[in-house]
Structure 1
Amino acid sequence: MEAIFEIMLLLIFRYPGAALRWLFSRLWKSKKKYIEFLEDNVESNAIIFIGTLILVTLLVKFVLF
Structure 2
Amino acid sequence: MLSIEPRTRLDMIIKLRCLRDQADELLAIAVETDDPNDWDNWKEADGLYYGYQDAMDDAFDQAA
Identify the TM-score tier after normalising by the shorter chain: 0.3 to 0.5
TM-score, normalisation: structure 1: 0.38
Superposition TM-score, scaled by structure 2 size: 0.39
Q: Which has the higher contact order (CA 8 A, sep 6+)?
A: 2
